[in-house]
Structure 1
Amino acid sequence: MYPVSASEGHSYFTFSHGYLQPNLNMPPVSYSQDIQVKNSDNFFLHSSFYTYEYSTLSNHAQLSIIPDIDRYLIFLQILPKDNPGILPWIVLILVFTIISIIAFRILNQQTFKRKKYLEAKIKKRTREIVRKQKEIESEKERSDALLRNILPAKIASELKLNGKVKVQYYDLASVLFIDFKDFSRFSQFLNPMVLINELNKNFCEFDDITEKHRLEKIKTIGDAYMCAGGIPEPNLTNPFDAILAAFEILNYLNKAEDDQWLCNVRIGIHTGEILAGVIGKNKFAYDIWGEAVNTASRMESSGEAGKINISGETQALVADFFDFEYRGKLEAKHRNEFDMYFVNRIKKPYSKDENGTIPNELFWKKVNCHINKVAI
């Protein structure tokens, strides 16, 4: 219930104990009254302009409700006719009408405010949910990127889907080993951080070159770098990819020779059968196994700095496109001797540069024709 106060003058009703009581002793004269209405929090209520008129045989009453800045101005004018005793009842009816209007307006305002509050709360909660979802997606992208950096994309997808990775057999893959000459000797008198930073710089460049030539980096062991072509997606160009990547690595190191200590490498390549996959349950690493891996390592260790040493198996697959230098045979455990060749350059008709390290368009046309014949 809301308190009602009147301005100076006579009142045609009284408000006591929660009930409106007519004042039967009021004289039958014209009257105007200012009523101020507040809610329980002392908050002034506002409304539109209202005018009410009531007429009987004896009286005529006119009620006006005007919203002010901080109150309602209620003007009541009663014009008595013949029966002044009816006036208090007219006032009572008018006051109940006023209270009903005000109560309805208060309810609407409270409902509107509650609606706005809930809408704002829902919007705020929705923004929080969207923000959390974006954070989760961002974290997922970072974890996926980290996993792809550790494992090939195909292997990473298989690991996420199944929780494990099957070891795959590849009948044609080219394994490439790179090892820096005199690394151990340099480590004896160079600052270790200087040496490692230089090694990291070179390995980062090797990463870019091998990725460009579709080779999969397997791992680094000390100052040795190991990668392979034809995995995890099989292809028939991997012997060419490995040799071209080796040429580009040598070109890079020749340009960097004046700026760093580590500039001489031995490179060995062998093509054959391997197994590739992920084993174990902790610290996943994509690795390769097989006699081809051991042979590629022997090609590297039996080579010379600044040279690309390949096995007879690899040479047989690319013989029509490169110039070679036969080096003789290499003894091997558990099998026959290996033929070894230095790859000197790309044959002149297929070379884009004078040094024979960059292939031209004709090179790839001929390679594709060669591969198609082999596939058939």
Structure 2
Amino acid sequence: MADAQAPGGMTARRNSNPSSSSPGKPAGSVHVTYGRSQATITEVVFGHFPNEAEESLFQLYIRDQKLKIIPAFAFTCVIYLVAQIILELMVPATLSERLAPMIVLFGLIAFLVATLVVLNIKKDKSYQWTSVCIMAMWFVITTAILFSAGTKRSAKSSTGVVGWLQLQFFISFVVLPWRLRVVIAISCLAAVAHSLEGGLLWVLNNDESSTHSNNDMLARQVAANSLLFLGAILLGVLVFLFSDRKQRRSFVESKKSHTISFQLQKEYREQERLLLSVLPKHIADEMIHDLGSDATGGQFRKIYMSRHENVSILFADIVGFTAISSSVTAAELVKILNQLFASFDDLAHKYHQQRIKILGDCYYCVCGALDLRKDHGVLSIHMGMSMVDAIRAVRERTHKDVNMRVGIHTGPVLGGVLGQRQWQYDVLGKEVTCANHMESGGVPGRVHISETTKALLNGEFELEPGNGFARDDYLKLANMQTYLIKSIIKPYPLGTLDEHLDENRKTGQENDERISLNSEEECNVSQNQHLREALLDRKRSTEAMKLMNYYTTWFHDKEAEARYRARSERFSGASMGALCVVLLLVVCAKFAVLPRTLVAILTFLVAELILATMAYISSIYMLQKVRIQGSPRTPLLVRPGTPTFKL
């Protein structure tokens, strides 16, 4: 049993095993499901996504698509105005009486068209204003068409404006960004208004002595007009439904494409975030750029290593870690260390430190290597003082005598990536070893700094002799003068470059960083918004139009044009069948007011036969294609015992 996802949320299931077919159903039957429940005739015809959020997004999508062709509606309004002006000029006797109404009508249409142009240029996101403007334009033009029936040029009847109303109805279905039921309602109201107007004009232009034949002519004329209006509305509904089906398929394909693109971007951001958690950004960017190139292959691989002349190195060790590990369970110990090192990472972000690694209970970071700052020594000391304060929470929680011993040294180092498969950023050099001994030769609960680090200070801290040589042989052999931080004179951010940053801006940057750390949640929340923006992006439509000729709509790529022309029209059978109905309505309207001649009847029968034959052939072709390919794209209502489609 094979399943296939169809546009519009439909799922096709094709039974490829003849032996497993149900009785009464041939092998290879196709079932199309739409959601969980079986749909009604209305849902089959009008179409609706089972997910309300998806349907709402589709309505926004189709509305945006139709707003792009609103200029076509404005163009028809201008054509009507030009035609009316020409007709009025042909009858100079009524020109003086009709001049003022024509000027008012022209002014209203010009104002509404200008408003639409301004809204389109500004890309105003307020759909309500655009909709009001379109509704006003439709009402003005329809009213003008109806009232033009009462002029002296057409005072006897309202038949002269039937053609204009038919065009107005059809364009309303094709162009206006409204729901189908709305367009049907306003078109029917306009048709009823025209019929009432025709009857009123007939009464006003005929006296009480009118014969029965004249009254019968009025009824036949109204019936003929109604049939013509029904044909125009039927054509509009047909085009609307076919267009809706195609747009739903296009929407599903576009949404699927954007969803895949969004997932790829999400995975890329996750991979980048994971990479940045172990490598500095500039090295990660360089390595990503070199992946797959000659720089990463061959016998000699590229080494990502650089020298940093002036860097402050911090080592911090938990004193009394053995006492903690013996008093709590392993799970509790891991939890305590995780919370402690997480707080250290937050402090590292605050004080612009780059964490290198965690060595058991030792925390190792540098400042000034990746982000060149002259205040790296001051920031490292603030980092160490904050770490000493942070360990107090652990001491209070475990009731054990635990503390932090911090050592800081400043000097040149080599920084780069070690390893070819399991990458790790590290800093190397004699100064790193010296910083490690500064920590081991320090005092619990104090920050121990070297002479080179002290040279970077400018009165931010009160110092006292550290006598590190008395506690560490390496410092003694190196004859290093060391110091202990006694107190803070200039609290952070005084004495650092952060002192000149705007507080609000800094807070915003910190918030942005927190958001980036929670990118997975942010991606899940913004996926629908991303899809909506991508589907409604007008720049994408503009780029797509560059692939085809603006006037002929042919693709510039001949192969793409050939593939497009080779596609079969799925609705050709339904189109031909609808044309048969429309032709029948037109002929009935003709026979209602004109003589029924043998030539006219034969012509009608031949035309109906040709259209019916074409509709039958097209329908059979599509049914055979559905049987063979199992295409779920065109759900049909068929008799029991044949391939069934469920919505």
TM over 0.5: yes
Looking at secondary structure, tell me which structure has more helix per residue: 2
Q: Comparing 220-229 with 136-145, which one deviates more in the overlay?
A: 136-145
Pair 210,108 (structure 1): closer, same or farther in 2 beyond 3 Å: closer
Corresponding position of 1:190? 328
Distance 1:297 1:140 in 2: 37
Bigger relative contact order, structure 1 or 2, given CA contacts below 8 A and separation 6+? 2
Corresponding position of 2:252? 124
3-state SS of the aligned residue for 1:204? helix
Distance 1:165 1:207 in 2: 28
CA deviation vs aligned residue, 1:15-64 (integer Å, no higher than 9, x gap):
xxxxxxxxxxxxxxxxxxxxxxxxxxxxxxxxxxxxxxxxxxxxxxxxxx
Distance 1:359 1:110 in 2: 72
Corresponding position of 1:306? 445
Corresponding position of 1:342? 484
216, 224, 228: which one aligns with 2:366: 228
Whether the aligned pair in 2 keeps the contact of 1:175 and 1:269 (CA below 8 Å) is yes
Distance 2:452 2:403 in 1: 26
Q: CA deviation at 1:122?
A: 2.6
3-state SS of the aligned residue for 1:257? helix
Pair 262,151 (structure 1): closer, same or farther in 2 beyond 3 Å: farther
Q: CA deviation at 1:315?
A: 1.5
Corresponding position of 1:332? 474
Establish whether residue 201 from structure 1 lines up as the match of residue 358 from structure 2: no
Q: CA deviation at 1:248?
A: 1.5
Corresponding position of 1:322? 461
Q: Give the alignment of 1:95-244 within 5 angstroms.
A: 117-163=245-291, 166-244=304-382
3-state SS of the aligned residue for 1:258? helix
Counterpart AA for 1:312: E
Whether the aligned pair in 1 keeps the contact of 2:375 and 2:496 (CA below 8 Å) is no
Whether the aligned pair in 2 keeps the contact of 1:180 and 1:262 (CA below 8 Å) is no
3-state SS of the aligned residue for 1:345? strand
Distance 1:319 1:364 in 2: 10
Whether the aligned pair in 2 keeps the contact of 1:275 and 1:290 (CA below 8 Å) is yes
Pair 179,142 (structure 1): closer, same or farther in 2 beyond 3 Å: same
Pair 129,205 (structure 1): closer, same or farther in 2 beyond 3 Å: same
3-state SS of the aligned residue for 1:259? helix
Q: CA deviation at 1:112?
A: 8.5
Establish whether residue 287 from structure 1 lines up as the match of residue 426 from structure 2: yes
Higher-Rg structure is: 1
Pair 117,295 (structure 1): closer, same or farther in 2 beyond 3 Å: same
Distance 1:268 1:293 in 2: 11
Whether the aligned pair in 2 keeps the contact of 1:199 and 1:262 (CA below 8 Å) is no
Distance 1:335 1:273 in 2: 20
Counterpart AA for 2:485: V
* Structure 2 portions without partners, runs of 5+: 1-234, 292-301, 501-647
Whether the aligned pair in 2 keeps the contact of 1:309 and 1:342 (CA below 8 Å) is yes
Whether the aligned pair in 2 keeps the contact of 1:150 and 1:285 (CA below 8 Å) is yes
392, 406, 421: which one aligns with 1:254: 392
CA RMSD of aligned residues (A): 3.0
Whether the aligned pair in 1 keeps the contact of 2:306 and 2:414 (CA below 8 Å) is yes
Counterpart AA for 2:484: F
CA deviation vs aligned residue, 1:86-145 (integer Å, no higher than 9, x gap):
xxxxxxxxxxxxxxxxxxxxx999998766544433332122111111111111121112
Q: CA deviation at 1:179?
A: 0.6
Whether the aligned pair in 1 keeps the contact of 2:438 and 2:475 (CA below 8 Å) is no
> Between the two proteins, what is the percent identity of the paired residues?
25
Whether the aligned pair in 1 keeps the contact of 2:310 and 2:369 (CA below 8 Å) is no
Distance 1:327 1:179 in 2: 17
Establish whether residue 276 from structure 1 lines up as the match of residue 276 from structure 2: no
Whether the aligned pair in 1 keeps the contact of 2:468 and 2:475 (CA below 8 Å) is no
Looking at secondary structure, tell me which structure has more strand per residue: 1
- TM-score for both structures, normalised by structure 2: 0.36
Q: CA deviation at 1:239?
A: 0.6
Distance 1:111 1:243 in 2: 74
- TM-score for both structures, normalised by structure 1: 0.60
Q: Comparing 335-344 with 263-272, which one deviates more in the overlay?
A: 335-344
Pair 329,148 (structure 1): closer, same or farther in 2 beyond 3 Å: closer
Corresponding position of 1:38? none
Distance 2:364 2:351 in 1: 14
3-state SS of the aligned residue for 1:184? helix
Pair 116,193 (structure 1): closer, same or farther in 2 beyond 3 Å: closer
Q: CA deviation at 1:174?
A: 0.5
Whether the aligned pair in 1 keeps the contact of 2:311 and 2:366 (CA below 8 Å) is yes
Counterpart AA for 1:285: Q
Q: Comparing 326-335 with 118-127, which one deviates more in the overlay?
A: 326-335
Whether the aligned pair in 1 keeps the contact of 2:313 and 2:435 (CA below 8 Å) is yes
Whether the aligned pair in 1 keeps the contact of 2:348 and 2:383 (CA below 8 Å) is yes
Counterpart AA for 1:304: V
Corresponding position of 1:80? none
3-state SS of the aligned residue for 2:370? coil
Pair 262,172 (structure 1): closer, same or farther in 2 beyond 3 Å: farther
Distance 1:125 1:364 in 2: 54
Distance 1:174 1:125 in 2: 55
Counterpart AA for 1:328: N
